Structure 1
Amino acid sequence: MSRSRSSAKKTVVIVATPGILLLDIAGPADVFSIASKEIASQEKGYEIILASVTKNKHIATKSGIRIACDICVTDINFPIDTLLIAGVSLGSLDNIPASFFTWLTAHYPGIRRMGSVCVGAFVLAKAGLLHNKRATTHWEHCTRLQAAYPSVTVDSTPFFVRDGNIYTSGGVTSGMDLSLALVEEDFGREVALQVSRQLVLHLRRAGNQSQFSNLLPSFELKSPLIRSIREWLLKNLDREIRVEYMADHVNMSPRNFARVFLKETQLTPAKFVEKLRVEVARQYLEDTNLSAEQIAEKCGLGNLVSMRRVFIRHLQISPSFYRHAFRTTLATGMAS
């Protein structure tokens, strides 16, 4: 299928797969669409093409809303400036036709830049396009991506990563962060800023994905030892905590305790305690009216200055910014 198009416009192809989140598609599409309207010249901007990864051009999203794609991606025979894999349902990754991966690797050299939204990074990795590259995906799936594709350097921290002409983004809304960055790359900061204002978004969000993720490994509670230690720690966070105290609680020698603890959590006891202090402090900031000074004391983080230092190290944002961004809606109240 061929189309006549203005050579001045940048063709953005957004690839949709069955079972994805609607925002994986709609977020980037709206960013590029609004950018085109903000550009004075009608001959510049973006032409957005929604392409299906299968011959069925009607895609059902996770919300149940069905979308109609313009074309099947393997039928594209026109130049592409930017191609984005708009997420994927990991359960159906193996159901994506082999013809798509053949097409993707064959056309990659002719595409100026290629990227992914959220777990769409798994598609790029399966196609071999992330080999020996740095990449990111949704923080919850970074470990899985790294295990499945060891040649990829997976970074769970950034909202998006660029390595050469490959761009990968984190959780769903990070696709909009990436799209804004691409607009800025193409048409400058002022256009990107106008788009962010129209969408009521930050041009660059403070912090990174870590402010949304769990700092502690999700498998920690599967271990009776770690579960017991965690329960004890939660009752003693406001006190000085040493390895000797933790080991004594489970009747182990400090040396053996430290060795077993590291093996089961991939964290030293000291690092685990610090991350747990931050996790509990986050909960207080979200759900209570306690002052930051009170929270620092209750969590064993010392004073406000030391708590701020720890938050910056782990979350790249201050406690006050975290409270402003994540405080429970009912706790803050709503204007009538």
Structure 2
Amino acid sequence: MKKRMEFYFYQGMLALDVTGPLDVFQAANELLSRNGKGKGGYELTFSANAPGPVSTSSGLCLHADARPGMKKIDTLLVPGGMIAETASTDSTNSLNIQMAAQKARRVVSVCSGAFLLAAAGLLDGRKATTHWMVADRLAQLYPAVHLEQDSIYVQDGNTYTSAGVTAGIDLALALVEEDYGPSLAIEVARLLLLYRRRPGNQSQFSTTLALQAKVGKRFKPLFDWAEAHLDQKLTVDQLAEKAHMSSRTFARIFPSETGMSPGRFIEQLRIDRARELLESGVEGLEQIARESGFGREERLRRAFQRRLGISPAQYRAHFMKGEQHDQGSYIRDIHL
């Protein structure tokens, strides 16, 4: 029996938040059909407050078949977009999502679609994630949500949330694996030319870009200098000097403008450098610890466990999986 998947549409949503997961589920259908398992798979349906064309932020129009909550469904999927926070303030959207969720086995959001789930009360007391750019805003508006800002996707009970845009593809692949096993998920990734499927507890891989955005033009020279000297011991006094401030002023202004302490800033840069070294095939963890500025393997391991929830060895193993199965089997692209 096919699993009924309902995508909830609203004006101004991001097209890729719909089409990315949609193509994953359709690819699963095609593969199941080829393997003689046509009775399984997904029935893909599309709902909105009013049936008919719904414009995405890019101008692409998608068609909604019906109003939400009309039938029992397996999965409700709510996309995000730049307009998602505004859309979440529309009580009609909240009521529609609540009705559909009551008839769904599981509820999913992509990117900033988490705003709509939160507004509908579906994330209260639950762990969730969203795009790093709007994570602070979501936390501010919905303090009852236990936000995991770094994760690519998060499951809490029957509720699933994903980080920005194509992290929804990672989550869709995870749902296919949950429904039909890892072999089908691997074949879907191969069919769609995706390589290296990321697990949900991986951090959003855009953290370097996110840091650049946070530090802004004022601290851009400091950012560049710190990246070039991560293998050295970096003190607040040194950072302040490069920012052309006194240590006291720097210690006050940097957190207020970037939302993070100088220590957290440097640690994140070092974690990103260690990731790059792990992905590039550098073998020794002691060498990686030295080159990324952690100094010792134990400090590197503790930082990974604290910030990513996995060890450096586990991180490397996730990336090597794709080569063990097939170079075309897993997602590796750094997407938001």
Normalised by the size of structure 1, how large is the TM-score? 0.72
2:66 corresponds to which residue?
Answer: 71
1:265-305: CA deviations, max 9, x gaps? 44333333344566789999xxxxxx99xxx99x9745998
Query: Please, which runs of 5 or more residues in structure 1 have no aligned partner?
Result: 1-7, 285-290, 328-336
Instruction: For 1:13 and 1:56, locate their aligned partners in 2 and report how far apart those are by CA, in whole Å.
Output: 13
- For the residue of structure 2 that corresponds to 1:200, the secondary structure is coil
Out of 66, 86, 97, the position equivalent to 1:104 is: 97
Could you say which residue in structure 2 is the equivalent of 1:46?
Answer: 42
Other structure's SS at 1:201 match:
coil
For residues 194 and 281 of structure 1, what CA distance do their matches in structure 2 show? Answer: 30
Structure 2 CA distance, aligned partners of 1:237 and 1:190? 40
Q: 2:139 aligns with which of 125, 137, 146?
A: 146
CA–CA distance in structure 2, aligned partners of residues 95 and 158 of structure 1: 22
The CA deviation string for residues 23-59 of structure 1, in whole angstroms up to 9 with x for no partner, is 211121222222223223332221110122x315201
User: Is the 8 Å Cα contact of residues 17 and 89 (structure 1) preserved in structure 2?
Assistant: no
Instruction: Give the structure 1 partner of residue 78 of structure 2.
Output: 85
Tell me, yes or no, if structure 1 residue 10 matches structure 2 residue 6. Answer: no
1:139–1:41 distance in 2 versus 1, CA, 3 Å: same
Amino acid at match of 2:142: Y
The 1:86–1:283 alpha-carbon spacing in structure 2 relative to 1, beyond 3 Å, is same
Q: 1:221 to 1:282 in 2, by over 3 A?
A: farther
Q: Identify the match of residue 208 of structure 1 among 188, 202, 210.
A: 202
Superposition map of 1:318-333 within 5 A: none
Q: Secondary structure at the match of 1:216?
A: helix
Q: Percent identity, aligned pairs only?
A: 34
Aligned partner of 2:115: which letter? Answer: F
Q: 1:239 to 1:97 in 2, by over 3 A?
A: closer
1:312–1:65 Cα change, 3 Å: farther
Tell me how far apart the structure 1 counterparts of residues 112 and 43 of structure 2 sit (CA, whole Å): 24
Q: Superposition pairs for residues 49-60 of structure 1, below 5 Å?
A: 49-52=45-48, 54-55=49-50, 57-60=52-55
Which of the pair has the greater relative contact order for Cα pairs under 8 Å at 6+ separation? 2
Secondary structure of 1:115's match?
A: strand
> Which of 200, 204, 220 does residue 215 from structure 2 map onto?
220
What secondary structure is seen at the aligned counterpart in 1 of 2:44?
strand
Return the alpha-carbon distance in structure 2 between the equivalents of residues 244 and 96 of structure 1. Answer: 45
Select which of 124, 133, 137 maps to 1:131.
Answer: 124
Larger deviation: 19-28 or 78-87?
19-28
* Alpha-carbon distance change, 142 to 110 in structure 1, aligned in 2, over 3 angstroms: same
CA distance in 1, matches of 2:61, 2:176: 27
Q: Deviations over 1:239-261 (max 9, x none)?
A: 54323444567564x56754554
1:187-206 superposed matches below 5 A: 187-202=180-195, 204-205=197-198
1-structure distance, mates of 2:52, 2:89: 14
Task: Pick from 151, 159, 163 the counterpart of residue 166 of structure 1.
Answer: 159
Count of aligned positions: 305
Q: Report deviation, 1:154.
A: 1.2
Answer whether contact 1:193 1:203 (CA < 8 A) is retained: no
Compare CA radii of gyration and give the structure with the larger one: 1
Deviation readout 1:119-142 (Å, 9 max, x if unpaired):
111100011110111101112211
1:61 Cα deviation after fit: 1.9
Query: Alpha-carbon deviation of 1:67?
Result: 1.8
TM-score (norm 2): 0.72
Q: Which amino acid aligns with 1:176?
A: I
Conserved? CA contact 1:136–1:155, under 8 Å:
yes
Query: How far is 1:118 from its partner?
Result: 1.1
- Per the alignment, in what secondary structure is the counterpart of residue 180 of structure 1? helix
1:30 correspondence with 2:23: yes
| Cα deviation code 1:79-124 (max 9, x no counterpart) | 1111100224426734875334223324433311111111111100
Question: For 1:120, what is the secondary structure of its paired residue?
Answer: helix
**Aligned equivalent of 1:288:** none
Q: Quick check: 1:156 aligned with 2:149?
A: yes
Stretch of structure 1 that moved more, 119-128 or 271-280: 271-280
* Matched residue, 1:3: none
Question: How much has 1:173 moved relative to structure 2?
Answer: 1.2
In structure 2, how many angstroms separate the alpha carbons of the residues matched to 1:164 and 1:264?
36
